[in-house]
Amino acid sequence: MTTTALDLAHAYATGDTCPIKVLDTLYEHIDDAPNAFISLTKELAYAQAQSAKIRWQRGNPLSIFDGIPIAYKDLFDVKHTITTAGAKLRVHAPPATQDAHVVSTLHHMGLTCVGKTNLSEFAYSGLGLNPHFGTPTNFTNPDHVAGGSSSGSATVVGHGIVPLAMGTDTAGSIRIPASFNGLVGFRASRQRYDKQGVFPLADSLDTLGPIAHDVIDCLLIDELLHHQPCLDWLNDDHPTRLAQSHALPTLVFDPAIVALADDDVQACFHEWVQTLTKAGFYIKAETITALHDTLACINEQWLGSAEAYTLHEELLHSPQADELDRRVRTRLMLAKDIKASTQIRLYARRAVYQQALMHKLGNRLFIMPTVRHTAPVLAKLEADDNYFAHINAQTLNLTMIGSFLDMPTLSLPIGTDAQGLPIGASVAGVTGSDRQVLMSGHVIQTYLS
């Protein structure tokens, strides 16, 4: 399956295929993405797919995505399954007694849960390595990482096993794997979706979102999570008409932020900007002080470090700590001596920078490269922990800006580097502007296609 969720919905509506046939094909090809799944939910999936098949045959689907297969990062509780959070020491944890709120909502919209995907242990890395369950690799080049922490979610979408996967994002964990794999990823504002039943990392930063092949599927997941069935999207001309009914967004980039990226990434980004300009988009280069202040703050001390350490403090000082990924354990322990006063000042600075950004950006959207570089080579990261730590910090550097400021962000594929590795660009707004970001992403995608 290499189609979008919306294309698949059209095929259900016309009878060209059905949810059961799609599942059969999906599970036949599950090994196309090695190490991508931690657990499969075949019995649940087939029960949901059979019900969806009947509804489509009767012409009364629950939503546009009734019977569409979806995978969930193994931080989301799915009833009767264990949520491992990518940690070996949780494989014997009690199964979830109920679905996470997001899972429940999408199940009520008819989506079919096929399994739970792999991730960096406790979601605490931007590279996606996992020594316990194996490391999912980049679907465009398996010698390179998929990116993290939502590595499995990106890999299963990239390989076309599912058209949609849900991830989490604390410092870049949706946007990075989307960028590395040439996919679309949406980091929602923190309050956009209910996080009940999702294993946390840093509560003041954690958020959720989908990874998909195009913006429309992300936009529709957002609608479904707000209980809109969106059946009007079955009209062939609806996506184009919707895009044409919206004004072109005004876009802003900061040259100094772009200059932090590698040469290939910069060149690809500027070419994309030129393409957008030729298509009629108004794009302005500006210095945005709030972003530079935020980056300086991040380089001094990451806001989520103390929260992550506090969450796992008891474990880190127990004999079970020896079972952790040594790289994750080392990074968590780096935060053990952060003072409460330091953390409080970080929260205060965030509020100031958010207000400054709202004043400067207004209704405009900010664009930048999603990651400073393309996907690094897996073997080098596995062989050298110091190199891993250095590259992990570089990988997270730009995405942390949006996380700190709670900017809803779409990562869009915009090209490749000299090796053919994908490059992504981010389209972001001020906190709470999720709908604007998603619609603008749809407009951009429509005009550039």
Per-residue pLDDT reduced to its tens digit, 84-113:
999 999 999 999 999 999 999 999 999 999
Same-domain check for residues 225 and 352: no
Please check whether residues 227 and 251 belong to one and the same domain.
no
Does residue 161 sit in the same domain as residue 70?
Answer: yes
Residue 372 pLDDT exceeds 90: yes
Q: What percent of the chain has pLDDT over 70?
A: 100
Residues with a known catalytic role = 73, 149, 173
Residue-wise pLDDT for 168-192, tens only, equals 999 999 999 999 999 999 999 999 9
Over residues 220-271, the pLDDT tens digits come to 999 999 999 999 999 989 999 999 999 999 999 999 999 999 999 999 999 9
**449 — pLDDT class (breaks 50, 70, 90):** confident
Q: Is the peptide bond before 149 cis (omega within 30 degrees of 0)?
A: yes
Does this model's pTM top 0.85? My answer is yes
Contact predicate 62/12, CB 8 Å: no
Residue 42 lies in a domain: yes
Report the share of the chain in percent with pLDDT over 90.
99
Residue 400, in any domain of the structure: yes
Q: What is the CATH number of the domain that holds 418?
A: 3.90.1300.10
167, 264: one domain: no
Mean per-residue pLDDT, 270-290: 98
Residues 391-409 pLDDT 10s: 999 999 999 999 999 999 9
Looking at residues 38-54, what average pLDDT do you find? 98
Residue 37 domain boundaries: 5-238
Domain count, the chain: 2
Spatial distance between the Cα atoms of 117 and 38, rounded to a whole number of angstroms: 5
Is 374 in the same domain as 229?
Answer: no
Lowest mean pLDDT among 119-123, 202-206, 245-249: 245-249
Residue 222 and residue 248 share a domain = no
Judge whether 357 lies within some domain: yes
Please determine, for residue 1, whether its predicted confidence score (pLDDT) is greater than 70. Answer: no
Q: Are residues 196 and 118 in the same domain?
A: yes
Assess whether pLDDT exceeds 80 at residue 117.
yes
In a domain, 286, yes or no: yes
pLDDT at 161: 98
Candidates 143, 148, 111, 113; CA nearest to 133 is 148
Q: Are 233 and 283 found together in one domain? A: no
For residue 86, being part of any structural domain is answered with: yes
Question: Mean pLDDT over residues 277-300, rounded?
Answer: 97
Q: Which of 238, 262, 294 is the last residue of a domain?
A: 238
Regarding whether 42 and 91 lie in a shared domain, the answer is: yes
Residue 73 belongs to some domain of the structure = yes
Backbone angles phi, psi at 314, to 5 degrees: -60, -45
- Do 130 and 25 share a structural domain? yes
Q: Which of 215, 238, 261 is the last residue of a domain?
A: 238
Model confidence at 2: pLDDT above 90: no
Instruction: Dump pLDDT digits (tens) for 325-360.
Output: 999 999 999 999 999 999 999 999 999 999 999 999
Q: Is residue 102 part of a domain?
A: yes
**Is the same domain home to 174 and 255?**
no
What's the mean per-residue pLDDT of the chain? 97
Confidence tier at 114 by pLDDT (50, 70, 90): very high
Q: Is 426 helix (H, G, I), strand (E, B) or coil?
A: strand
Residue 116's contacts (CB-CB under 8 Å, 6 or more residues apart) are: 37, 38, 39, 41, 71, 72, 73, 74, 76, 78, 81, 83, 84
Alpha carbons 152 and 166: distance in angstroms, whole number:
10
At position 90, the amino acid (one-letter code) is R
The model's pLDDT over 154-163, given as tens digits with 9 standing for 90+, comes to 999 999 999 9
Q: Does residue 335 lie in a domain region? A: no
Last residue of a domain, one of 178, 212, 238: 238
Q: Do residues 407 and 282 share a domain?
A: yes
